[in-house]
Amino acid sequence: MTAAAPPGLPAKMHALVREFVAAPHAVADAVAEFGSPAHLVFPQVFAENLERLRTELAARVPGFRICYAHKVNQSRTFVEAARAAGAGIDVASAAELDSALKAGFEPERIEVTGPKGEGFVRELVGSGVTINVDNAWELERIAALAPTRVPVPVLVRVCGFAGTPVSRFGVPLHRVDAVLALLAAQRERIEFRGFAFHLDSGEPAERVRAVESCLMLTERAYGYGLAPSVLNIGGGFRQVFTADADAFDAYVHALRESLVGRGEPMTWGGNTFGFHLEDGAVHGTPVFHKYANIVSADRMLADLLDTGLESQGGRTFAQVAGENSIEIWLEPGKALVDHAGITVARVEFVKETADGSTLVNLDLSRDTVTPADQEVMVDPILVPARDVPDPSSGAAGVFLAGRLCLERDLITNHKVWLPRLPAPGDFVVFPNTAAYHMDLSAARASMHPVPPKLAVVQRSGTFSVGRDVDWHEVH
Ligand SMILES: *Cc1c(COP(=O)(O)O)cnc(C)c1O
């Protein structure tokens, strides 16, 4: 009998990205030219993700719009890819709006979400973009600032659906009547396009309840003489990280065993990943819960569109939208950048700690690939240094450590089994990092510069790599 394979967390990867990582010298050459660590984005994968969502919508409803949620990544290449594909864009700050306009989005294709202050509202009124209104104050300011001849297009975000955790965003359901009265009174200045919601949760039942509430509100709006024609269902369509759900479950099982002292130790520094230990047993939901998901975003969208709605006599969401000439809008962020980015770091040195653990130190810090309270639960890929033969030495269980002079700068707090012990100069590739990680928590701790962002495109089997900000030249 051979020894059991060590626990692993194989990453799902797009074939194009896998090909790039496996291409001789591709990673080493990119880093040699632009520096390490580096973020790499793949606009062709982004375009495919967009097309998959579009296919599901086009098969079911006559009118829809996909607005790329810019917040998920600051990449100029992704914004250009969204524009080139004819999508809309969802921006949540003055700088994101600027980025969308610079990429060539017409105001008609831009939607502005999120909390907005006086200055931003003033900038938006009269610009032609659709304002996704967060609250009654915003609406009153728009009414006060708007010219009478060209009404300002708005969506109204609502919240407070049954069974959904309280949200800081949107107008609570019980306040909607006051908003509808205001919209009816301000018809000269405000063009009410419809209701919107966005749920963080990936729970299908929550989204269905939100859709039903918004359809009822839409009907109520007709009673005020308003003519909403859009229902914006937001983002929250999930990513799939794992290539092997059984392997993922087996890893988590081994991890839980290790937390109660059975089997090989697998955690750094007493980390429990959100589990809590009681009476020698492991309870609760771990912080890395999202890595277990195996339902793709397009499937999740299709299922939502095909759900029979109790409040609509069992007709599906898609049927109800079609019959009432309601356009369905989406604001996917992470679903569009799923598998469309990787992060490359260089191995600086390998050391042993007092407890016998092996630390692989990288030129990267934790905040570059994950928020502090999360944990990356897919295995990175080890890529040998340029022109160094791969010294296959057998699997090694290690922790990946960051470059900051802080105890907490461990990139993985769980043990990662690599195919061999890395050596200085090797590269480590973190798969699927384009959603939020690249920008949202990136800090300049210890005065390290923020890693460069590069765009990779494949044409006729050849990869070209350029700076994301110079996308026009790469293109
Ligand atoms: C963040 C955000 C999104 C995108 O969310 P994902 O989960 O990345 O799809 C969409 N809409 C709004 C209003 C947001 O705040």
What average pLDDT does this structure show over 229-258? 97
Q: Tell whether 307 and 320 lie within a shared domain.
A: yes
Q: Tell whether 301 and 450 lie within a shared domain.
A: no
**173, 213 contact by CB (below 8 A):** yes
Q: Tell whether 362 and 326 lie within a shared domain.
A: no
**402, 410 contact by CB (below 8 A):** yes
Look at residue 246 and tell me if it is in a domain: no
Above 90 in pLDDT, residue 443?
Answer: no
Look at residue 288 and tell me if it is in a domain: no
Q: Tell whether 37 and 54 lie within a shared domain.
A: no
Pairing, β 88-91 against β 64-69: parallel
Above 70 in pLDDT, residue 266?
Answer: yes
Condensed to tens digits (0 to 9), the pLDDT of residues 210-222 reads 999 999 999 999 9
Of the residues 337, 355, 389, the one at which a domain ends: 337
pLDDT of residue 239: 97
Ligand 1: which residue has its CA nearest to atom 3? 235
Ligand 1: which residue has its CA nearest to atom 7? 236
- How many domains does the chain fold into? 2
Q: Tell whether 135 and 77 lie within a shared domain.
A: yes
**357, 268 contact by CB (below 8 A):** yes
What average pLDDT does this structure show over 316-327? 98
Q: Tell whether 99 and 49 lie within a shared domain.
A: yes
Q: Tell whether 381 and 328 lie within a shared domain.
A: no
**164, 206 contact by CB (below 8 A):** yes
207 alpha carbon – ligand 1 mean position (Å): 14
pLDDT of residue 3: 60
Above 90 in pLDDT, residue 474?
Answer: no
For residue 358, give the CATH number of its domain: 2.40.37.10
Kind plus residue range of the DSSP H or E element containing 416: strand 416-418
Q: How many CB atoms lie within 10 A of CB 234?
A: 24
Condensed to tens digits (0 to 9), the pLDDT of residues 38-93 reads 999 999 999 999 999 999 999 999 999 999 999 999 999 999 999 999 999 999 99
Closest ligand 1 atom to residue 200 Cα is 7
At residue 452 the predicted structure's pLDDT band, cuts being 50, 70 and 90, is very high
pLDDT of residue 251: 98
Q: Tell whether 141 and 53 lie within a shared domain.
A: yes
Token pair recorded at residue 300: 């999740």
Q: Tell whether 333 and 346 lie within a shared domain.
A: no
Condensed to tens digits (0 to 9), the pLDDT of residues 5-24 reads 899 999 999 999 999 999 99
431 Cβ contact list (under 8 Å, min separation 6):
11, 12, 13, 17, 241, 339, 342, 378, 380, 381
Of the residues 281, 306, 337, the one at which a domain ends: 337
Q: Tell whether 324 and 183 lie within a shared domain.
A: yes
Above 50 in pLDDT, residue 189?
Answer: yes
At residue 393 the predicted structure's pLDDT band, cuts being 50, 70 and 90, is confident
Look at residue 63 and tell me if it is in a domain: yes
pLDDT of residue 444: 81
pLDDT of residue 1: 42
Q: How many CB atoms lie within 10 A of CB 360?
A: 27
The percentage of the chain sitting over the pLDDT mark of 70, rounded to a whole number, equals 97
243 alpha carbon – ligand 1 mean position (Å): 25
Above 70 in pLDDT, residue 472?
Answer: no
Of the residues 274, 306, 337, the one at which a domain ends: 337
Ligand 1: which residue has its CA nearest to atom 8? 333
Q: Tell whether 122 and 165 lie within a shared domain.
A: yes
278 alpha carbon – ligand 1 mean position (Å): 36
Look at residue 158 and tell me if it is in a domain: yes
Token pair recorded at residue 332: 């996917």
306 alpha carbon – ligand 1 mean position (Å): 22
Ligand 1: which residue has its CA nearest to atom 5? 235
169 alpha carbon – ligand 1 mean position (Å): 12
- List ligand 1's pocket residues with C-beta within 6 A: 69, 71-72, 90, 113-114, 198, 234-237, 331-335
Domain that holds residue 20: 15-42+340-474
150 alpha carbon – ligand 1 mean position (Å): 29
Q: Tell whether 167 and 145 lie within a shared domain.
A: yes
For residue 324, give the CATH number of its domain: 3.20.20.10
Q: DSSP code of 279?
A: T
